[in-house]
Structure 1
Amino acid sequence: MLHHEANRALTESRRYAVRTVGAGAPLRWLARGWADLWHCPLPGLLHGLVLAGFGAALALVAHAEFWLLAGAFSGFLLVAPVAATGLYAVSRALERGERPTLATALRVWWPRDGRLVLFGVLLACAGTGWVVTSAALVTGFAPGMVRRPEDFLMLVVAAGQGWLFEAWLALGALLAAPVFASSVIAIPLLLDRRIGVLAAVLTSWRAVLENPLPMALWAVLLVGLTLLSLLPALLGLVLVAPWLAHASWHAYRDLVA
């Protein structure tokens, strides 16, 4: 049964040709995303404000509990692309020469099916898996109990010797890579086309495997800009989150015919 479903999803995925792009394509996506943001700023800026407010609430509640904070932050980063679906719809409307409004973005949240909801649940499960695995590694090998963020900095990050922090970073990269490859194209594809979740994930993997260098640069830009946006009390999210959302739409449009 599973084999049959996988074959059917692969056949469905192959209906969508994947393009090869140049190494500089991510910079072009950022430029187009920035233009989209200012062509229709209200949905994007409201989206950024909501994310910044939600992130601030998480930090306020969980600031003294490292694992709760880590779990909340991981889930925040993983589910944020699904929350940006309305901005993909805005970019699609601009691409068609239409005049999108806030209603264009909000309308996406009354879907006719649950594919995006299912994908969001899968991403949340992936985030939970990372936190559990990370906690097992740190708890098993740290020289003391890690309960607060200060404990993590002292016992893991600033440890005078050992390999724990490097192993923690490597584990994070190892787990993040397949999540990125599965979702980077799948989410806008699910919005734009009548395609199953597994077929969308396979298409996303095909796009990444066909374009390893541009997609690696895109991953670095997504993570780097997101981290920078968190520094000024999360206020950078107001601009960076919608900017990256609009840019992600253009990444999808460049990569999937």
Structure 2
Amino acid sequence: MPDHYHSPPLPPRPPAGTLRLPAVRGVELGAPLQWLALGWRDVWRCGFLSVAHGLALALFGGLLLWLAHDRFWLLAGAFSGFLVVAPVLATSLYALSRALERGEPIGASTIALTWTRWQYSRYAVHGGYWSMVRFGLLLSLAGTGWVLTSAALITLLAPQPVQTPMDFVRHVILAPGGHLFELWLTMGALMAAPLFASSVVAMPLLLDRRVDVLQAVLTSWQAVLKNPIPMALWAGLLMGLTLVGMATAMLGLIVIVPWLGHASWHAYRSLVDASNLPERLLPEGA
């Protein structure tokens, strides 16, 4: 593992109100492929602990597909929401990779503590438990905004009402003489780009260090702005592999979800040197 993964002793916690950001590294174009390789290694090392995440989300996605297969906007909203909050849902996968990196034992307790006690901090006002909750809510609001904006665009410009997935295919994707689908895709890309930039390393940083949402989001933007081409490749890989998982009747998500979750941890470790920030550790007796 690269030497920069080993952090020096931590400095004292900064005074309240001080906004301090970690250093962001430049990476090579092929770095996303290395993150995928490291993520795949972690899937094998964690075994069912990792795959269980993908299995749960695949079952949930299959249930949504069954319930809303003939209601396009409900289906679109559900899957848009899933894509937006995926960095939050992968939190325990980051924790597993973090433990592996440190040589710590992993087990079901690692996952349980991630969702119950990992974010505990006696410095509750600075990067406390609610940081990740607030960030998840913000992402959910962003996903809702996209669905509402998309619905307004399609409702105003589609030649016929769109109620089912087949309506969307006929009246938007295959509509003759129009460019509604291209406009819809462009608008989606414009809305997805800032969401990606805000979240690509934010959640692993919130898990790993006692930081607040603003610090995490600003660090994530710095990582993207410093590495625009590698991060564009990373965004394409995340989206492409996720779509492959969905296109296989959700079955591919069983492996792809944990793979991308672990890989996202390694993306964070490669891009961000957070050694100047206090760690988020479990309280004594947890």
Normalised by the size of structure 1, how large is the TM-score? 0.94
Instruction: Give the number of the structure whose residues are more often helix, by fraction.
Output: 1
Residue 212 (structure 2) pairs with residue 196 (structure 1): yes
Unaligned residue ranges in structure 2 (runs of 5+)? 1-15, 121-128, 274-286
**1:62: Cα distance to partner?**
1.1
Distance in 1 between the 2:151 and 2:247 partners? 24
The yes-or-no answer on 1:181 pairing with 2:200 is no
Q: 2:174 aligns with which of 149, 153, 158?
A: 158
Q: Contact conserved, 1:230 with 1:236, CA < 8 A, in 2?
A: yes
Give the structure 2 partner of residue 21 of structure 1: 27
Q: 2 CA distance for matches of 1:106 and 1:12?
A: 31
Q: Give the distance between the partners of 2:32 and 2:101, measured in 1 at CA.
A: 18
Report which stretch shifted further, 219-228 or 55-64: 55-64
> Aligned partners of 1:127 and 1:13: how far apart in 2?
29
For 1:244 and 1:19, locate their aligned partners in 2 and report how far apart those are by CA, in whole Å: 21
Of 81, 104, 107, the match for 1:101:
107
**2:140 alignment counterpart:** 124
Corresponding residue number in structure 2 for 1:241: 257
Distance change (3 Å), C-alpha of 1:202 and 1:181: same
Identity %: 60
Deviation at 1:166, TM superposition (A): 0.2
Number of the residue aligned with 2:77: 71
1:45-89 CA distance string (max 9 Å, x none): 110010001111111111111111100010111112201100100
Question: What is the aligned residue count?
Answer: 248
Q: Does 1:143 align with 2:143?
A: no
In 2, Cα distance between equivalents of 1:158 and 1:191? 44
**CA RMSD, aligned part only?**
1.2
Alpha-carbon distance in 1 for matches of 2:85, 2:68: 18
Separation in structure 1 between the aligned mates of residue 170 and residue 20 of structure 2, nearest angstrom: 47
Kindly indicate whether residue 28 of structure 2 is the aligned counterpart of residue 12 of structure 1. Answer: no
How far residue 13 of structure 1 moved from its aligned partner, in angstroms, is: 4.3
- SS where residue 264 of structure 2 aligns? helix
**Partner Cα separation in structure 1 for residue 99 and residue 215 of structure 2:** 24
- In structure 2, the CA distance between the partners of 1:154 and 1:91, relative to structure 1 (3 Å rule), is same
CA distance in 2, matches of 1:28, 1:198: 28
Deviations 1:101-156 (A, max 9, x none): 12212211014211111111111100000000001111100001011111100000
Contiguous gaps of at least 5 residues in structure 1: 1-7
Structure number with bigger Rg: 2
The Cα shift of 1:252 comes to 0.1
Aligned residue number for residue 45 of structure 2 = 39
Residue 12 of structure 1 and its aligned partner are, at CA, apart by 2.4
Corresponding residue for residue 167 of structure 1: 183
CA distance in 2, matches of 1:62, 1:40: 33
- The runs of at least 4 consecutive aligned structure 1 residues that moved more than 6 Å come to none
Scaled by the length of structure 2, the TM-score of the pair is 0.85
- Aligned partners of 1:119 and 1:13: how far apart in 2? 18
- Asked if 1:48 corresponds to 2:64, the answer is no
Q: Distance in 2 between matches of 1:32 and 1:20?
A: 18
